[in-house]
Structure 1
Amino acid sequence: MPLFLPGIFLLGFNIGTGSVTTMAKAGATYGMSLLWTVMLSCVATFLMINAYGRFTLVTGETALQAFRRHIHPAIGIFFIVALTAGVSGSVMGVMGIIAEISYEWSKTIIEGGIAPIYWAALFIGIVYLIFWNGRTQVFERALAVIVAIMAASFVLNFFILMPPLADMVSGLVPSVPDIADTESDGRGPLLLIASMVGTTLFSGLFIIRTTLVKEAGWTIGDARQQRRDALFAAIMMFVISAAIMSAAAGTLYIAGVGLDRPSQMISLLEPLAGAFAVSIFAIGIVAAGVSSQFPNVLMLPWLLCDYQNAPREMTLPKYRIMVLLISLLGLVVPLFDARPVFVMIVSQAFNVVLLPLTVACIVYLGNRHDLMGEHRFRPATNCGLIAIFLFSLITSYMGYQGLFVMLAS
């Protein structure tokens, strides 16, 4: 298996339209002042990826198998239910955003454009056809190509639309914008910060990581390669997320224009950045959405196989039906004209709630001598994980506060 393929898979999983929407909204509303959130989240993501990966290198067990055997079966079932609920919301938001972006983009070619429902059906069909093949290698290589397109699009866009360097540097200093968190669209900083953490520090990312490490056949002898792969994924997450935020900060924020619907990324950016930059950004958004849709629709069957320690045979009828039903959720936003930005932000904020438990589980497992032996987590690793646990509690509280204010207004 190529050196960075598991990391690329995680990158495609992590950087979806949830990241694009959240980072673009942060840049459009607060400039680069929340860049510190991205940096801390990516550092924490590296530590978590590495910790979960190391556990599998030593024990040969995936996360859900370990939860079931060494903690309690109910913990594994809880993660399956919670993660499935989270990705179901993500599937709706992802496809809604892709469809709306493609609709606005098509207006430049066809008068009146192609309706979002047709775009949603097209992309759902593409993802499902690739899934129908049933082989993990097909998913991974398809993701590698799509992620490369996405990364190139956003990085190129960064150099076209980058804000002042001083703004980016000052954004690395932790601070919360002094703006009331009272707007019903989730624009307030507390909910947005929680969403940014949720879309980066996603519990499903670490659960799936253990499956990928086991499937790659890595053992403790591959610890250095596993660490390099985790570092690659975390660095690219930061680069792409920062590039998306910079594009919005260098245009929409400077112009004093907010961001409420995905289509605004096209209609508002064009007069500020030009047609070429907008096209590049749109390609990146579509690639991000498709890349994250693959693991989103596969989440439930993969988790079930993981929990039962069963082969990931995706050609079985029960799994094909599961994936089809989850995929069809992508039609909800175009059919009912829901607000995909709202759906995505709430969905990503919900992910933060799972993070404290995800951290607590790996701290417990990684320090058990009967499981890890001489490879038990070192004090430095434990300190880092405890810091992430405290960070997750703070952001969870911020997310709860933001959601409460938003729903009460």
Structure 2
Amino acid sequence: MASRPFSSSKRARQLLSMVLPGIFLLGFNIGTGSVTTMAKAGADYGMSLLWALLLSCCCTFFMINLYGRFTLVTGQTALQAFKQHIHPWVSLFFIFALGVGVCGSVMGVMGIVADICYRWSLVWTDEGIHPVWFALFFITLVYVIFWRGNTRFFERFLAIVVAIMSACFLLIAFLLLPTPESIVSGLIPRLPSISAYSAESPLLVTASLIGTTVFSGLFIIRTTLVKEAGWTLAHYANQRNDAAFSVVLMFVISASIMAASAGTLHIAGTPLINAAQMIELLEPLAGQFAVSLFATGLVAAGVSSQFPNVLMLPWLICDYSGIPRDMTLMKFRLLVFGVSLLGLVVPIFNARPVLVMIVSQALNAVILPLTVVCILYLSNCKSLMGQYRLNTLQNLILIAILLFSIFTAYLGLSGVWQMLMPT
């Protein structure tokens, strides 16, 4: 009888260790950018783009599972395979593109989180607390945990933050839930009519929604996590279930954010420009409790994405070089420190990092099609995959994802061109 609590505790730890890689991906994917995109989709078009979110999550699961399966079969991570079987420059391009994206994301995430906390503090104090202090606090928190922890510690801390984020967004969605009819109707694929109070077309919002969910960095990092977990083909079910867990939770959280916005801002006909704006817009519509929930969830989303952001570049360098991921080395601590400091750019200078954001968007537009092409080639390579090569249906699905990624790349590059050459 006395062994039962120990046995239950052991099983709980085993279950947690099985889903930690998926939680890491979830924290990486659900950041302030995703929250803003989902909130805007809900504010402008209600639940009518729920089908696009579902489709993007299905594509994400397919790609995560495919990249994870490749590592199970070959024992190689994505960057190692690109370097050895395609060309070293391909791996270097991914490191550069994802590195630039991380720099832009760190600036944006901390800028939004600091702004959210500042606006939230205005509820409690007349003048509020300056955004710089909030940015310094969260940058320090993440860096101290990075300095003292190891990979497993990062993942467990991330699990706590993701749990807080999930609880907040699910609860606020429950409080502000739109009608069941609109939810069911939103699962029918169609483009909604142009919103009267949105400058973006529904096609562009749809592409943005899918683009922020189907993220190349997830697939590249996934192979590293699978290899570090020591999984082999015998663990294929674990790998698939872990991927399914992260994607299902990704859909539920994203849909909750969309529902909260649809149930308030869309009904009131209130336009949305950024996530921080929801702090001011939600209070008269939903009350202070809902505002506090949303602010807490958004801060948790920012912190959960900050961890993978600052870790990505050193992890990619280790992966490419074939060296252990020892984050206690001074060169990596200095690299993470430099990347973390970028989070102060927006709060201190009150400016948008235009150049970095432009380059980041341009590279992100190119990287997804290349990510699909690379796994399409590698997964059909007989010398690598043997009997585990893709079948006809899997190839057709992957080609469909490739065609759509090319279309979203066109939209992304068009948006960059408009930023460079405003009319």
Q: 1:48 to 1:398 in 2, by over 3 A?
A: same
Specify the alignment match of 1:107 in structure 2.
122
Whether 1:292 and 2:305 are equivalent positions in the alignment is: yes
Specify the alignment match of 2:88 in structure 1.
73
User: Per-residue deviation at 1:344?
Assistant: 7.9
Specify the alignment match of 1:238 in structure 2.
251
Specify the alignment match of 2:371 in structure 1.
358
2:72 to 33, 54, 57: 57
Specify the alignment match of 1:161 in structure 2.
176
Specify the alignment match of 1:334 in structure 2.
347
Specify the alignment match of 2:422 in structure 1.
408
The answer to which of 223-232 and 165-174 deviates more is 165-174
Whether 1:210 and 2:226 are equivalent positions in the alignment is: no
Aligned AA for 1:310? I
Instruction: State the distance in 1 between where 2:271 and 2:172 align.
Output: 19
What are the Cα deviations for residues 262-291 of structure 1, in whole angstroms up to 9, with x where unaligned?
Answer: 332111101101111111111110100000
Whether 1:21 and 2:11 are equivalent positions in the alignment is: no
Instruction: State the distance in 2 between where 1:200 and 1:347 align.
Output: 16
Q: 1:73 to 1:340 in 2, by over 3 A?
A: closer
Residues 53 and 251, structure 2, Cα contact 8 Å, conserved in 1 = yes
Task: Give matches, 1:29-178, under 5 Å.
Answer: 29-178=44-193
Residues 195 and 345, structure 1, Cα contact 8 Å, conserved in 2 = no
Q: 1:136 to 1:46 in 2, by over 3 A?
A: same
Task: Give matches, 1:180-195, under 5 Å.
Answer: 187-195=200-208
Moved beyond 6 Å, runs of 4+ = 180-183, 340-346
Which is higher, the Rg of structure 1 or of structure 2?
2
Whether 1:197 and 2:219 are equivalent positions in the alignment is: no
Whether 1:281 and 2:294 are equivalent positions in the alignment is: yes
Residues 44 and 197, structure 2, Cα contact 8 Å, conserved in 1 = no
**Alignment RMSD, CA only?**
2.3
Aligned AA for 1:41? S
Instruction: State the distance in 2 between where 1:182 and 1:266 align.
Output: 19
User: Per-residue deviation at 1:385?
Assistant: 1.2
Aligned to 1:408, the other structure's residue is in SS state coil
Q: 1:77 to 1:312 in 2, by over 3 A?
A: same
Q: TM-score, normalised by structure 1?
A: 0.94
User: Per-residue deviation at 1:350?
Assistant: 5.4
1:258 to 232, 253, 271: 271
Aligned to 2:124, the other structure's residue is in SS state coil
The answer to which of 346-355 and 217-226 deviates more is 346-355
Residues 83 and 204, structure 1, Cα contact 8 Å, conserved in 2 = yes
Instruction: State the distance in 2 between where 1:341 and 1:42 align.
Output: 29
2:385 to 360, 372, 385: 372
Instruction: State the distance in 2 between where 1:286 and 1:23 align.
Output: 16
User: Per-residue deviation at 1:389?
Assistant: 0.9
2:262 to 246, 249, 266: 249
Q: 1:37 to 1:233 in 2, by over 3 A?
A: same
Residues 106 and 339, structure 2, Cα contact 8 Å, conserved in 1 = yes
Aligned AA for 1:8? I
Task: Give matches, 1:214-225, under 5 Å.
Answer: 214-225=227-238
Instruction: State the distance in 1 between where 2:359 and 2:44 align.
Output: 17
User: Per-residue deviation at 1:372?
Assistant: 1.1
User: Per-residue deviation at 1:227?
Assistant: 0.6
Instruction: State the distance in 2 between where 1:176 and 1:396 align.
Output: 19
Aligned length: 407
Residues 139 and 341, structure 2, Cα contact 8 Å, conserved in 1 = yes
Instruction: State the distance in 1 between where 2:362 and 2:252 align.
Output: 21
User: Per-residue deviation at 1:146?
Assistant: 0.5
Residues 9 and 143, structure 1, Cα contact 8 Å, conserved in 2 = yes
What are the Cα deviations for residues 7-44 of structure 1, in whole angstroms up to 9, with x where unaligned?
Answer: 11111111111110111111112222222221111000
Residues 378 and 384, structure 2, Cα contact 8 Å, conserved in 1 = yes
Q: 1:181 to 1:346 in 2, by over 3 A?
A: farther
User: Per-residue deviation at 1:292?
Assistant: 0.3
Instruction: State the distance in 2 between where 1:75 and 1:181 align.
Output: 43
What are the Cα deviations for residues 281-337 of structure 1, in whole angstroms up to 9, with x where unaligned?
Answer: 111101000000001011111100001111001111111111111111111111222
Aligned AA for 1:132? W
Unaligned runs of 5+ in 1: none
Aligned to 1:175, the other structure's residue is in SS state coil
Aligned AA for 1:255? A
